[in-house]
Amino acid sequence: MAHKKRPKNRPPGKRSSKAPLASAAKPPTTPDGSPRTTNTVAARKTVPLKPAAAVAGDGAASSRRTYLIPDYRLERPEFRIFVAGEGSNLEYRIEGDLSAAAPPIRESKYLSRPQCIAIYRWILLNRRMEVALENLYKQGKVVGGVYLGLGQESCSCASAYALGPDDWLGPMIRNQGAMLVRGFNARDIMRQYMAKGDSPTWGRDASSHFGDWQRRNVCAPISMLGELIGVMAGVCLGARLQGKNVAGLTYVGDGGQSTGVTYESLNFAAVQKLGLVLIVENNLWGYSTPADLQFCVKDLAERAIAYGIPGIIVDGTDPCQVYDATHEACERARRGEGPTLIEAKMMRMKGHAIHDAAQYVPAKLFEYWRARDPIARFENYLVNVKRWLTAEENHKLIEDVERELEADRDAAVASPMPDPETDKTHQGVYCDPSCHTIKPKYGAVTARVREGGAAGPKAVEAAVHLK
């Protein structure tokens, strides 16, 4: 890791007054009053997000530093997956303590009762829609594959819920819950999977590969892992050129974050102080590769240190933690203070796609995360812990979601396939100057014209390039 330069006028060993006093080297000591489970740790006090700043030691140890990465989790599981056996007996095994009871939901600093209930509803709808999609696939009605976010619904829904009307979303294929929150309906998502003629892309593309840059501020998912990060950084830059700082929320997996474009895009966003909010969805698997074979850092949030931006860890199955971290990151983005990296730890509870039975995953790992199911835990929180929903209200809410979903599914199934006579699938692939105008969304574009006008590179730059 590159060493930070010491400000010229500060003697070695003197701590910067800007450096946070809390050191990551010290274990957290302040319980927040939440009940503990066996390996539940007291949550560190949440602190306003600042770039992961170095805390230098004194005297001779001044070259050693530790960094502050807030961790909102109420549980820090310690286990590792490793390869064992040989030849055809090769398998993944798991080592560590998997016996702890599930942690409680962490109380949100910002969410009100109706907001929590709204998020709960989105999470339920997300889950029920994916169950319906799985059934449609098994009935042979889906064209192509189905990619599910089972176990990750809290992360998708609660993060998108933190966006404001002028902010932007760049979902990945597992973030269908985020698309629901941003205003797409389950009917359209199901039509899209079945390649129906009235689906958002008229049957031209499969799965959740569609967006809406005109009304909902949503960029379509991009399959090439990491590429959305640069696109969302560009969205934030575009808005900035129009005089507005917006938050651009996107996601990348534990596997996808290893790509070069992740580094390039995040570094660009950091240097330009763009409002990118990147959630690294560490769901422990990238295809059949366990996270332990994908990277060596303990927590992916640590990567933020190298970009000079805030990094934060949340339990991705806890909607309150996800919301709080995303909300804080979005506020930072809107203040023009730059990007944030949020690592959401959770588990992909299905295979990579519906055709993958995930037999390579140790059964004990599924058991462990099944006990941390986002819906069951949030339901318990709302009904039994906070008493914000009575059993009857909860029952009614679930019934409403199911009724809505069934109507959406029936309508999607009844939708026509693309009609060869009026087929639109070949349209809208390329823009030509006559097809539409793209107007600035937030204001007139203002770009600084450098001295001497835009008449080519300065002599000194040209000289550098010619070397």
Ligand X SMILES: Cc1ncc(C[n+]2csc(CCOP(=O)(O)OP(=O)(O)O)c2C)c(N)n1
**Nearest distance from residue 280's CB to ligand X, in Å?**
9
| Residue 214 or 223 having the CB closest to ligand X | 223
Q: Quick one: which H or E segment has residue 462?
A: helix 459-466
| Residue 68 or 347 having the CB closest to ligand X | 347
Which among ligand X, Mg ion, none contacts residue 225 (Cβ within 5 to 8 A by kind)? ligand X
Residue 373 to residue 154: CA distance in whole angstroms: 10
**Nearest distance from residue 431's CB to Mg ion, in Å?**
34
| Residue 76 or 352 having the CB closest to ligand X | 352
**Nearest distance from residue 232's CB to ligand X, in Å?**
16
Pick from 120, 149, 70: nearest CA to 380: 120
Residues in the chain: 467
Is 177 exposed, middle or buried, given 0-12, 13-18 or 19+ CB atoms closer than 10 A? buried
| Residue 94 or 333 having the CB closest to Mg ion | 94
Dihedral sign from CA coordinates of 366, 371, 377, 380:
positive
List residues binding ligand X (CB under 6 A).
174, 223-225, 253-256, 259, 281, 283, 285-287, 348, 352
Residues whose CB is less than 8 angstroms from the CB of residue 291 and which lie 6 or more positions away in sequence, other chains included: 81, 254, 282, 284, 285
Strand arrangement, sheet containing 276-282: 168-170, 248-253, 276-282, 340-345, 311-315
List residues binding Mg ion (CB under 5 A).
253-254, 283, 286
Which among Mg ion, ligand X, none contacts residue 223 (Cβ within 5 to 8 A by kind)? ligand X
**Nearest distance from residue 31's CB to ligand X, in Å?**
33
Which among ligand X, Mg ion, none contacts residue 302 (Cβ within 5 to 8 A by kind)? none
CB 182 within 8 A of CB 122: no
| Residue 70 or 256 having the CB closest to ligand X | 256
- 268: tokens are 């660009």
Distances in Å between the Cα of 385 and the Cα atoms of 42, 82, 107, 155, 371 are 19, 38, 10, 21, 17
**Nearest distance from residue 18's CB to ligand X, in Å?**
35
Which among Mg ion, ligand X, none contacts residue 174 (Cβ within 5 to 8 A by kind)? ligand X
**Nearest distance from residue 129's CB to ligand X, in Å?**
17
**Nearest distance from residue 257's CB to ligand X, in Å?**
7
| Residue 203 or 253 having the CB closest to ligand X | 253
| Residue 83 or 445 having the CB closest to Mg ion | 83
Which among ligand X, Mg ion, none contacts residue 408 (Cβ within 5 to 8 A by kind)? none
Question: Among all chains, which residue has been given the structure tokens 């590159």?
Answer: 2
Residues whose CB is less than 8 angstroms from the CB of residue 92 and which lie 6 or more positions away in sequence, other chains included: 81, 82, 83, 84, 290, 360, 361, 362
Which among Mg ion, ligand X, none contacts residue 259 (Cβ within 5 to 8 A by kind)? ligand X
